[in-house]
Structure 1
């Protein structure tokens, strides 16, 4: 969805430091970080979930066992409620403190730079991680454990969803040009899956071929000052600017600034991470830039090992694959033989892989495609 018109939030330059101690999935942590982000205030987020030493330090210096805990330089404000209850005068004084005064030696401890998350609003990779945390919270509350079905009705009234919608408006001011390949993969996969859900909630899921075509070519976010539809994200960015289903031209022309953001080569594994909101799609997950390659590999293996991805009939020497391998055949080699070899190489160590190996050695395998269930993945 294109975000509503909002005043641009200009990130402030700070001499000092705002430090937040939090844990992933904490609704109060999300609310505090969303508030600071919307104010254009950069902060260092220290996730203490898996760090017992930091947890103990936090208790010792704050006297509290709860998160979030926020500091402006060495001034302890407290939790989210404490921050929200500040008067405008008190808040202005704290902002001036970190804006003009470097963090003193007795400021709260933070881990090494690579372990802390410095949330600078102008950096797409940082906002991507923040959005991922919020999406993860949404998913944990409204999506079935297997990632296949979504309770859209309950999500509509979710405070986290409303905060996510507000945060999505910040996408329009991002600078995407300096993202690495891994950062682009994680960022655009997470945004795609969230945008599908956002579109389904705001417009309702498409019900026929024409509605699907219109849906994927119209539902969009403004990212970095450019409009990105679902079609643009999948085929323009993640597939290295290749034609999508039913497209006669590439998504991005030579003069299109979005072409500079597109990946240099197609990434076949993205097909097992993108969920377009129907039952035959791969399960919904969230992805991190640091672990994206491993996470995509795991998602691909899981999909191929399942009945929706690959079935083998030994007696008929037939391999039945998801329609994904038909629609995007070029991404997997372009021929049945290359597609089968790709599937074999990406299957996990399982009985299915052993059977496929035997068939490949025998040759003359028939490739067919499984029915694709376009029913909505809404949880009844």
Structure 2
């Protein structure tokens, strides 16, 4: 059991950054010793970076101190002589923090855990890095399936769960449109996986309705369900499937976060955990419009999403276009023109162009595979 902070007169200080596996290993080793760890994220507290480097001569992390005694990095900690380690543990248990101990944020009245309110873009970047690691290890090459069992066992998943708690402290109102898109798309896709691991995958229509209206994160002091993220924020507060009302009322503080207009391209980036969903990717605010357009182009090229029968003058589309038809213009003609405009150069696009030129094109919809996108 970890030592309570009040039972330690001294302090173990670990300078770290988010998503650093060596930092996690060092903190875990110290916790096993029954020590409270004062962890300071130097990416968040950049004012300390210069001083830490001056004290240690290093720019890497973690950097570990027992009171004012510099130990080194994670490898140095792991390689400490047992007698030396015992002496250091005794030091922080019995000796108060000396005046020349390394600085920590709480000494000037800030958050003692080093978790101040931070910009959403910073948390998003940290979570994106963890998500990328999880995806690279446990996502199929095409982004279509997830090894959920392996994700659950991953230490990076545990780190992600810990970091997700800090979403409650982020500041959302200062986000640009591009930052909102990247932040909420990444959070949505990760939250679906998180929800599946915690609650199990929804198999029936009623279970799906409950899942998307129940699974949520506390972000910036407000609860955002999957429905809230997709239809409230990313679709500019439009009603979703089986919704009679808009997600946010005019007095809802979350309305301030919503995009001013619907962004149709999000439908090719959001993955609800079903096999027919678009592939899972991560997005960055920089150049996100091109990233989303590329995702749409790849989706439209897939025959599971669009097929063209020139003989029958018929275009079959993913049901996504049926469920969110209003986002693509609201009529078959506008829908098909939108699809054509967002296709990459291909024979399929040439075939669609020929049909549209002649007119009188039938639109039907392909089946949707709601089974879980698991590798099992």
Q: TM-score normalised by the shorter chain: which range applies?
A: 0.7 to 0.9
Per the TM alignment, residue 152 of structure 1 is displaced from its structure 2 partner at its CA by 0.7
Q: What is the match of residue 122 of structure 1?
A: 118
d(CA) in 1 for partners of 2:349 and 2:251?
45
d(CA) in 1 for partners of 2:265 and 2:213?
22
Q: What is the match of residue 43 of structure 1?
A: 42
2:269–2:278 CA contact under 8 A, matched in 1 = yes
d(CA) in 1 for partners of 2:38 and 2:357?
62
Structure 1 position 307 matched with structure 2 position 303: yes
Q: What is the match of residue 134 of structure 1?
A: 130
Q: What is the match of residue 330 of structure 1?
A: 326
Task: List alignment gaps of at least 5 residues for structure 1.
Answer: 1-17, 46-60, 102-118
Q: What is the match of residue 336 of structure 2?
A: 340
Per the TM alignment, residue 209 of structure 1 is displaced from its structure 2 partner at its CA by 0.2
d(CA) in 1 for partners of 2:70 and 2:291?
38
Partner deviation per Cα, 1:42-97 (whole Å, 9 max, x = no partner): 4239xxxxxxxxxxxxxxx76xxxx954569xx9975445579896859x779743
Residue 97 of structure 1 aligns to a residue whose secondary structure is coil
d(CA) in 1 for partners of 2:200 and 2:362?
39
Structure 1 position 172 matched with structure 2 position 146: no
Per the TM alignment, residue 157 of structure 1 is displaced from its structure 2 partner at its CA by 1.1
Pairs within 5 Å for 1:195-214: 195-214=191-210
Per the TM alignment, residue 32 of structure 1 is displaced from its structure 2 partner at its CA by 8.1
Structure 1 length normalisation: TM-score? 0.76
Residue 331 and residue 26 in structure 1: after superposition, are their counterparts in 2 closer, same or farther (change >3 A)?
same
- Note the aligned Cα RMSD (angstroms): 3.2
d(CA) in 2 for partners of 1:32 and 1:368?
57
Q: What is the match of residue 268 of structure 1?
A: 264
Which of 234, 237, 243 lines up with 1:238 in the alignment?
Answer: 234
Structure 2 length normalisation: TM-score? 0.77
d(CA) in 1 for partners of 2:154 and 2:284?
24
Partner deviation per Cα, 1:308-328 (whole Å, 9 max, x = no partner): 221111111111110000000
Pairs within 5 Å for 1:1-380: 27-28=21-22, 41-44=40-43, 69-70=61-62, 79-82=73-76, 96-97=102-103, 122-380=118-376
2:308–2:314 CA contact under 8 A, matched in 1 = yes
d(CA) in 2 for partners of 1:346 and 1:352?
12
Residue 287 of structure 1 aligns to a residue whose secondary structure is coil
1:69–1:78 CA contact under 8 A, matched in 2 = no
d(CA) in 1 for partners of 2:347 and 2:229?
35
Structure exhibiting the larger radius of gyration computed from Cα positions:
2
Q: What is the match of residue 107 of structure 1?
A: none
Per the TM alignment, residue 367 of structure 1 is displaced from its structure 2 partner at its CA by 0.6
1:29–1:68 CA contact under 8 A, matched in 2 = no
2:23–2:62 CA contact under 8 A, matched in 1 = no
1:120–1:126 CA contact under 8 A, matched in 2 = no
Residue 300 of structure 2 aligns to a residue whose secondary structure is helix
d(CA) in 2 for partners of 1:32 and 1:266?
45
